[in-house]
Structure 1
Amino acid sequence: MVCQSLNPEVPNGNQNEVLMKTVEMVIQKIEEELDKLRETKQDPSLTPSVFQQGAFLSDILGLLESAAASHQQNEGNNQQNEIRKYVRIKPNRLGKQNFMGENASFTSIGHTCFAMKEELEEYMDYDVGEICNDDWKLAQKLMVHGCDPLPRRRCFSRSPKLYKQPFPVNESLWKLPDDRNVRWSQYQCKNFACLAGNATRKGFFKGVDCFNLTNHEMPRWIFLIGLDLSVGTGIFAARMREFNVTIVSANINFGAPFNEMIALRGLVPLYLTINQRLPFFDNTLDLIHTTRFLDGWIDLVLLEFILYDWDRVLRPGGLLWIDSFFCLKVDLYDYLQAFKMLRYKKHKWVVVPKLDKDEQEMFFSAVLEKPHRPFR
């Protein structure tokens, strides 16, 4: 009836098209107005009516977008609809500001996601309420290429077919987990014994010894809480756990189930790419440890962004432990300058040649203490 009232001379199909274009124009205008309100909401001179206007616009926007999404369900494919539903602004149901002072919820998605249209649509192609596809490797590909954070999905993640209760913590730290607790379909090895025995050199070579839980060195420092950014299975976190120190292990699954292994040892995995801002508040960590993770492949500007982010979450007096960073000899000066830029106190600073590369590559290790910086 609505479409017919627009213009009885226009066929229904064209009327629907005109209606949707009109709705899209209105949505765009409301979004522009909301952007202006967000920019000015810190102004103390604003009256309550301005916030009421924002709440009203958010409510109308939500209704229009919901109507548009419902209309497009019959025309677009399922994955595109799921993406639209995820990224649209969600107005508060009560029509007023929530405890965070916002009139609506704004979901985040990596900007590069829309440059990987085919992969993103494949990732979002699922049946709502059903089991998700076995596509964690596709999800990781999107994350590594900058589609981070990924959109949430409305399907149930796949689990191992025969999941067994993990070992108690007094056993789990130094015992290989049960093979049934991992989905092995995307890995060349199909059990932990294969990984521990280094039966294949293919895949991510830096992890070949990570699953052998014997003969690892004892820790040299003691802390309360920290972050380990290293390729591995949580060896550093396990050693610290024995001394009642909590270490979160940031990792992604390059060729092996690193995150599953960390969790099955009773440790805390953090599924995180190098592209992402650390999800910790400022000045909260005692320690950041990294080994064989940030090496001479990394762009210098990106390294600076990462180091400043590490500085943000380290508390004053916290330690940055760089273990075995390696790079080409010709690049060594530039990389060392990046670390010196932090102006941390040096407890250890060692540079040695990498012997298997005819001294054309160098190792760098350091233990650096974040200084106390007075507020300015």
Structure 2
Amino acid sequence: MKFLNILSSKEKGMAKQNVNTKLKRWRSVYYFIFILGALALLLSVAAMFKFLSFKSFLGTESLYSNLNPEVPNENQNKVMMVTVELVIQKIEEELNKLREAKQDPSSSQTVFQQGAFLADILGLLESAASSHQHSEGNNKQNGSFTIHHPLVSKKKQSDEPADYFLREEIRKYVRIKPNRLGKQNFMGANASFTSIGHTCFAMKEELEEYMDYDVGEICNDDWKLAQKLMVHGCDPLPRRRCFSRAPKLYSQPFPINESLWKLPDDRNVRWSQYRCKNFACLASNTTRKGFFKCADCFNLTNHEMPRWVSLEADSNYTADFLISEILGIKPEEIRIGLDYSVGTGTFAARMREFNVTIVSATINFGAPFNEMIALRGLVPLYLTINQRLPFFDNTLDLIHTTRFLDGWIDFVLLEFILYDWDRVLRPGGLLWIDSFFCLKEDLYDYLKAFKMLRYKKHKWVVVPKLDKDDQEMFFSAVLEKPPRPFR
């Protein structure tokens, strides 16, 4: 009997524990329903008094464009602000409870979805409240009660670009972060100022998709979305608080004496976003699945190895110069440099044999160029054409570019890039333009852009592109940056 009593008491305890667990889950659901009801009430009142416009949720027009300026009602606005503050307070309380529930391994996926949804709603309400408080005083001084979104207001721009976005992670990243001690740091700043590219505002939906993740979890496999943002001017991208995805089985790279001229292990690359699924496919190039300007650059043995050491290696490279020739212009002076091209790092590999360190700047156009460069034991720099070079003034001995800045580029953009190259080249440094091609009718204008640098000419060659019936031209040159007097 005692045994049965003990057993029954245990069963009762387990049943009670199960009931408590179910009650906790239902309680979180009830809280969620309450928040949704409060939000619905808020939106209903807003629609009734025409305080908020539906277009404000799209972030494209003023937040409160439907407010009637002829019949101002301050009491109405105060009631609305109090309601907003109450809803914000309730959502914050619910988020705190959800964060505690998130630590419980028995929590369901619904809890995570509720937290993400409430965080977005909280960000929207905080944005509306802060914009209203910030704009109300300025508008009252002018006798107008129309409140505008900070980014479209013609009278005064907001100091907070974060107000434009709804995703809370973007808002947290963009906001100014004051120093904890309230004093200036050793760099003379009293806060940290994180930035994003200006086109990020035009690509709001893509950026918010990129920043849609769970903090501390694995990031989505969205590097292609990130590169799309970068190429279109949303560069730099915001940092993220999630772990980047890695290959499922990463093998040890080859030793440096093998890696320079050997295809890497396929397991060291995430192939999900590429048409080719291994290096052999890219090297054979039978299906033309890589980037057309670098169609054969994964063929290390037959195509890449002879480059810059033999001019007869490929008839398409008729305007190339030999590395030995260029280094002979400045014996023992060329030590570090940048290769600004689309490729697999072959130029850096060849220069390494001459004891010159080259950083290869490129992005992944249809193939894992950055991974390939790194697996060869070289240094990749993931950089778009839109971004200022991350080097200090007068620091590089050499800048080399091939088959990247061609006749498609705008003349003004080319000038900005050339002046940036001039900035990082030291006096006496070399600019190696390797096989720049353009239409014959545009050749004069492009040559004029290079001549405006007023560099010393060591080599200068213009030849026709053989497969285009003299309609396209190749241009190659080696130019030396002159010393300029300090002023």
Q: What TM-score do you get using the length of structure 1 for normalisation?
A: 0.79
Q: Deviations over 1:255-276 (max 9, x none)?
A: 0000000011111000000000
Contact 2:457 2:479 in 1 (8 A): yes
Contact 2:276 2:290 in 1 (8 A): no
In structure 2, what is the equivalent of residue 236 of structure 1?
347
**1:357 Cα deviation (Å)?**
0.7
Residues 221 and 67 from structure 1, CA distance in 2 versus in 1: closer, same or farther, beyond 3 angstroms?
A: same
Residues 94 and 181 from structure 1, CA distance in 2 versus in 1: closer, same or farther, beyond 3 angstroms?
A: same
In structure 1, what is the equivalent of residue 161 of structure 2?
none
Q: Does 1:224 align with 2:322?
A: yes
In structure 2, what is the equivalent of residue 248 of structure 1?
359
Contact 2:370 2:382 in 1 (8 A): yes
Q: Deviations over 1:187-208 (max 9, x none)?
A: 0100001101112214421121
SS in 1 for 2:136: coil
RCO (CA 8 Å, sep 6+): is it higher in 1 or 2? 1
**1:70 Cα deviation (Å)?**
15
**1:8 Cα deviation (Å)?**
25
Contact 2:219 2:242 in 1 (8 A): yes
**1:308 Cα deviation (Å)?**
0.1
Distance in 2 between residues matched to 1:164 and 1:37, nearest whole Å: 40
Contact 1:195 1:211 in 2 (8 A): yes
Contact 1:59 1:91 in 2 (8 A): no
Residues 150 and 354 from structure 1, CA distance in 2 versus in 1: closer, same or farther, beyond 3 angstroms?
A: same
Contact 2:430 2:479 in 1 (8 A): yes
Residues 171 and 65 from structure 1, CA distance in 2 versus in 1: closer, same or farther, beyond 3 angstroms?
A: farther
Contact 1:79 1:125 in 2 (8 A): no
Q: List gaps (5 residues or longer) in structure 2.
A: 1-64, 143-168, 310-320, 324-336
Q: Which contiguous aligned blocks of 4+ residues in structure 1 show a shift greater than 3 angstroms?
A: 4-81, 215-225
Contact 1:288 1:320 in 2 (8 A): yes
Q: Judge which range, 83-92 or 17-26, deviates more.
A: 17-26
Bigger share in helix: 2
Q: Does 1:181 align with 2:181?
A: no
Contact 1:354 1:361 in 2 (8 A): yes
SS in 2 for 1:6: coil
SS in 2 for 1:372: coil
Q: Judge which range, 251-260 or 211-220, deviates more.
A: 211-220
**Residue identity (%):** 90
**1:214 Cα deviation (Å)?**
1.8
Number of residues paired by the alignment?
373
Residues 345 and 148 from structure 1, CA distance in 2 versus in 1: closer, same or farther, beyond 3 angstroms?
A: same
Q: Judge which range, 27-36 or 255-264, deviates more.
A: 27-36
SS in 1 for 2:71: coil
SS in 2 for 1:209: coil
Distance in 2 between residues matched to 1:65 and 1:253, nearest whole Å: 38
SS in 1 for 2:478: strand
Q: Deviations over 1:39-98 (max 9, x none)?
A: 999999999999999999999999999998999999999999901000000000111111
Aligned Cα root-mean-square deviation (Å): 13.1
Residues 217 and 9 from structure 1, CA distance in 2 versus in 1: closer, same or farther, beyond 3 angstroms?
A: closer
Residues 14 and 176 from structure 1, CA distance in 2 versus in 1: closer, same or farther, beyond 3 angstroms?
A: farther
Aligned residue among 319, 325, 328 for 2:439: 328
Q: What TM-score do you get using the length of structure 2 for normalisation?
A: 0.61
Residues 219 and 348 from structure 1, CA distance in 2 versus in 1: closer, same or farther, beyond 3 angstroms?
A: farther
SS in 2 for 1:366: strand
Contact 1:229 1:289 in 2 (8 A): yes
Residues 256 and 346 from structure 1, CA distance in 2 versus in 1: closer, same or farther, beyond 3 angstroms?
A: same
Q: Judge which range, 144-153 or 222-231, deviates more.
A: 222-231
In structure 2, what is the equivalent of residue 65 of structure 1?
126
**1:244 Cα deviation (Å)?**
2.0
Larger radius of gyration: 2
